[in-house]
């Protein structure tokens, strides 16, 4: 009854379902969209109120961006969120990342760093730790595969050229592109980033696997070593 009372306190035309039917999903607030997806609240709290609490739960990022950072356990600590709702919310975050990646994939060009950054942006910019991804390419720069090389701090001592080239050789690659994220949101290369890139570039030239670029993903921004001519300095 308390849930119904909460909904009844909203004018019928402004309730999420009715508003969506009348004006379309673009007219809904973030909380209203999430309320429709989670469908119900719990005893004493409406679905909109619950959605609002979920959106404010992240300590680092507010709103929809925070959903990516919330763990299953953190969601279940919130009154009104059980195992099913927690899984629904996590799937919403994953679905949004996949939609963004699928849209970016259509324009992906391995000679254009901005398209590579777009492809990985939603996948990597929400991560709370650094991930290093290696893209393996053939002689015509067709993608043979990609592999996460390391999780955690990306530096020259923890990510060795050996790991990268073992992955590249497995795919019979002749070119590689490195991509990793900075959880701080600032893609400016660190000394370790530059040192690692130099080591990989040098080792690759010896064995015939060429490093085409190293792209660092920040929060809606990126830096390409190739675009900045950093690779040419080696």
Per-residue pLDDT tens digits for 125-170 = 888 889 999 999 999 888 898 999 888 765 544 677 888 899 999 9
Q: Distance between CA atoms of 38 and 167, rounded to whole angstroms? A: 41
Question: Global pTM?
Answer: 0.68
Edge-first strand order for the sheet with 222-224 is: 143-151, 131-137, 175-181, 210-217, 222-224
Cβ(224)–Cβ(113) under 8 Å? yes
Q: Tell me the range of 44-53, 88-97, 108-117 where mean pLDDT is highest.
A: 108-117
User: Tokens 């020259």 sit at which residue?
Assistant: 156
Average pLDDT of every residue of the chain: 83
When pLDDT is cut at 50, 70 and 90, the band that residue 34 belongs to is: confident
Q: What is the mean pLDDT of residues 193-206?
A: 92
> How far apart, in whole angstroms, are the C-alpha atoms of residue 85 and residue 141?
43
Q: How confident is the model at residue 117 (pLDDT cuts 50, 70, 90)?
A: very high
Cα separation, 27 vs 144, in Å, equals 42
Q: What CATH fold (topology level) applies to the domain 108-233?
A: Cytidine Deaminase; domain 2 (3.40.140)
Task: Determine how many CB atoms are found less than 10 A away from the CB of residue 214.
Answer: 26
Is the predicted pLDDT of residue 70 greater than 50, yes or no? yes
Q: For residues 105-134, give the mean pLDDT.
A: 86
Q: What is the pLDDT of residue 210?
A: 94
Residue 101's nearest CA partner among 84, 121, 75 is 121
Closest Cα partner for 161 from 209, 199, 205, 208?
199
HEC-encoded secondary structure of 69-105: CCCHHHHHCCCCCCHHHHHHHHHHHHHHHHHHHHHHH
């Amino acid at each position: 009854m308390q849930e119904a009372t909460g909904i009844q306190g909203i004018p019928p035309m402004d309730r999420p379902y009715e508003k969506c039917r009348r004006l379309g999903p673009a007219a809904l607030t973030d909380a209203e969209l999430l309320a429709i997806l989670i469908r119900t609240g719990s005893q004493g709290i409406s679905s909109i109120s619950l959605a609002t609490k979920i959106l404010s739960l992240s300590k680092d990022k507010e709103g929809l961006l925070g959903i990516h950072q919330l763990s299953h356990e953190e969601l279940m600590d919130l009154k009104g969120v059980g195992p099913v709702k927690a899984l629904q919310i996590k799937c919403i975050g994953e679905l949004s990342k996949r939609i963004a990646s699928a849209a970016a994939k259509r324009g992906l060009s391995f000679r254009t760093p901005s398209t590579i950054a777009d492809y990985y942006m939603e996948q990597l910019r929400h991560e709370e730790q650094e991930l290093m991804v290696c893209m393996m390419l053939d002689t015509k720069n067709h993608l043979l595969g990609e592999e996460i090389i390391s999780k955690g701090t990306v530096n020259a001592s923890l990510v060795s050229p050996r790991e990268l080239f073992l992955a590249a050789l497995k795919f019979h690659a002749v070119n590689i592109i490195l991509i990793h994220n900075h959880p701080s949101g600032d893609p400016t290369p660190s000394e370790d980033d530059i040192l690692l890139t130099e080591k990989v570039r040098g080792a690759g030239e010896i064995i015939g696997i060429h490093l085409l670029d190293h792209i660092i993903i920040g929060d809606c921004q990126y830096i390409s070593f190739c675009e900045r001519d950093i690779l040419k300095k080696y």
